[in-house]
Amino acid sequence: MTGPTLDEVETAELKDPQAERRRRRAERYAEAASAGWKVWLFKIIALAIIDALAVYALLVLFQEGNWVVGLVLAAATVGVNVVYLVPGLLPAKYLTPGLIFLFVFQIFVVIYTVYIAFTNYGSGHISTKDDAVNALLLQSQTRVPDSPTFPVRILEQNGEFFLLTTDPDTSEYVVGGEERPLEPVDGASATGAPGYTTLDFAGIVANQAAITALAVPISDDPNDGSLRTTDGSSAYLFTSTLEWDPGAGTMTDTTTGTVYTDTGEGAFTAEDGSRLLPGWQVVVGWDNFARAFGNPDIRGPFFAVFAWTLVFATLSVATTFVLGIFLAIVFNDPRMKSKKYYRVLMILPYAFPSFLSALVWAGMFNQDFGWINQVLFGGAEIPWLQDPWLAKFAILVVNLWLGFPYMFLVCTGAIQSIPEDIQEAGKVDGAGVWGVFRYIKFPLLLVAVAPLLISSFAFNFNNFNIIYLLTQGGPRFPDAPINIGQTDILISMVYKIAFTGAMRDYGLASAFSLIIFLLVATISYVAFRQTKTLEELN
């Protein structure tokens, strides 16, 4: 007696969906079992480490009130465990690491940049309103003239410093730190407290800067003032010249009587428009974009920088491509001898790090002792990097030096890939050297290198190194309220707004970053459409 055939089993499974699911589940478990216990052990250990790190991160996030990020992290952790513990799901096991890195290094960065672009995040607007209130009260503190002397001991715990003193009302020992008001500690005495290390004289001297900057609040009310010490043995009461009213949400200057209110713009502001800094981070909507396009002091330099960025990227691609294709044709001539040695010489600029080459060229363009002025122009003092037009010319020359080897290599490969019989057919039809190049070689070459030209344009659109290393964007626009120079391109302008100068405006820099993204995306889309059209024509 024989068992059921394969067709009969499949027919029975089609009639019974539960049987089909049981069969597939059995196949998944069989596949998992065939992997071996070593694979499962490695998987369990790896997931245990990931889960431990995730739990720690969740505790920190929930403690700081970041519920949205915490919930997203929790869902991702559960998803990773399901993917790697449930048998089957083979495609997901391969896709999950890539998706995680894509989200962390690409999607999250874009989302966070968009968020920052709609806030006032920057110098003076870094943290929360509570932190700003405490910072304002601390930075405006002065010593109370008739302050009593508090004998103190300096304690240390986990790298943080604390003051140990006695409460003048209860005479009990209390301990406080930078963000912790004075409070009693069980077992505290005149020499120390359990869980803390008492610093000796050498320890106080070694950490004198941090100890003198320590301000310990008297109570939970910041208006009560704080204790400060200069020698590590005696402390005095300091109170702020600003008075914080939580109920009214105002900050009052007790010396002048000026009242500063929260206007919703992230800073306490008086009626005359003066502000108290630091402020705090708030959502400002489209204000950063309005500043970029609506403020005439910013709009003018911005459009000048944008125009120069387009010119720089276009000329950089055009000049390097023209020189590259010219050299590729010259060194592809079969009559030329020792071509391989000449080609090696041509790609030498490409072999050296670009930032080193830029620094060398910056020295050569030096007005006083540069090689170009001293040797080529007989000691002239030409301000190559100080004059706006000469600086732009110098940047294009250096970028040509750095970029033509790449185009030379690409064009050489594209030319060598063109079939000889097509060129011979053109010659038979009466086309000369220029005709063969214009009507045969160049169109076929352009189809091959057009995507590379587009990518080169996008690269030069954001070519930060060459600008910053040669001119640092200078010379500066004299009337611009932000640090913008006449040789800046958009990316170097964003860098300056975000990371240089006394006032760093991350919100405005993020808004400009989004503008750059949209510009490059639009230009690339149009260019690729034209490339597709070119391919269809050929």
pLDDT of 82 above 60: yes
Residues 201 and 235 in one domain: yes
For residue 18, which amino acid is it? Q
Query: What domain range includes position 213?
Result: 129-276
Alpha helices, DSSP H, located in 184-295: 201-206, 208-212, 287-294
**Average pLDDT, integer, range 481-487:** 87
**Under a CB-based contact definition with an 8 Å cutoff, are residues 350 and 406 in contact?**
yes
CA 499 centroid distance within chain: 11
**Average pLDDT, integer, range 256-271:** 93
Residues 356 and 299 in one domain: yes
Segment 433-473, tens digit of pLDDT = 777 777 777 888 888 888 888 889 989 998 999 999 999 99
Range in 178-182, 363-367, 425-429, 481-485 the model is least confident about: 425-429
Write the CATH number for 322: 1.10.3720.10
Write the CATH number for 138: 2.40.430.10
Band the pLDDT of 333: cuts 50, 70, 90: confident
The token pair that represents 481 in the structure block: 């309220």
- Predicted local distance difference test score (pLDDT) of residue 363: 93
* Of residues 306 and 421, more confidently modeled: 306
Last residue of a domain, one of 92, 117, 142: 117
Tell me if 282 is assigned to some domain.
no
Last residue of a domain, one of 51, 84, 117: 117
Residues 194 and 227 in one domain: yes
Q: What total of structural domains would you count in the chain?
A: 3
Tell me if 425 is assigned to some domain.
yes
- Predicted local distance difference test score (pLDDT) of residue 466: 93
Long-range contacts, stretch 188-196, CB < 8 angstroms, 24+ apart: 188/164, 190/153, 191/153, 192/153, 192/155, 192/164, 193/155, 193/164, 195/157, 196/155, 196/156, 196/157, 196/162, 196/164
Strand partners, 154: 163
Residue given tokens 């064009």 in the structure block: 411
Range in 17-31, 111-125, 227-241 the model is least confident about: 17-31
Range in 128-137, 154-163, 328-337 the model is least confident about: 328-337
Residues 303 and 395 in one domain: yes
- Predicted local distance difference test score (pLDDT) of residue 537: 53
DSSP 365: T
Residues 309 and 445 in one domain: yes
Strand partners, 174: 165, 184
Percentage of residues in the chain with pLDDT exceeding 90?
47
- Predicted local distance difference test score (pLDDT) of residue 416: 85
Residues 139 and 93 in one domain: no
The rounded distance, in Å, linking the Cα atoms of 469 and 394 is 12
Segment 145-195, tens digit of pLDDT = 888 899 999 999 988 999 999 988 888 999 999 889 999 988 999 889 999
Residues 303 and 257 in one domain: no
pLDDT of 338 above 90: no
Residues 134 and 113 in one domain: no
Range in 10-24, 199-213, 226-240, 396-410 the model is least confident about: 10-24
Residues 329 and 457 in one domain: yes
* Of residues 105 and 1, more confidently modeled: 105
**Under a CB-based contact definition with an 8 Å cutoff, are residues 430 and 468 in contact?**
no
pLDDT of 226 above 90: yes
Segment 512-522, tens digit of pLDDT = 999 988 988 88
- Predicted local distance difference test score (pLDDT) of residue 10: 52
Residues 317 and 230 in one domain: no
Report how far apart, in Å, the C-alpha atoms of 160 and of each of 130, 179, 249 are. 21, 10, 31
- Predicted local distance difference test score (pLDDT) of residue 7: 55
Last residue of a domain, one of 85, 117, 149: 117
**Under a CB-based contact definition with an 8 Å cutoff, are residues 266 and 120 in contact?**
yes
**Average pLDDT, integer, range 284-291:** 92
Residues 56 and 111 in one domain: yes
Residues 387 and 424 in one domain: yes
pLDDT of 298 above 90: no
- Predicted local distance difference test score (pLDDT) of residue 1: 46
pLDDT of 76 above 50: yes
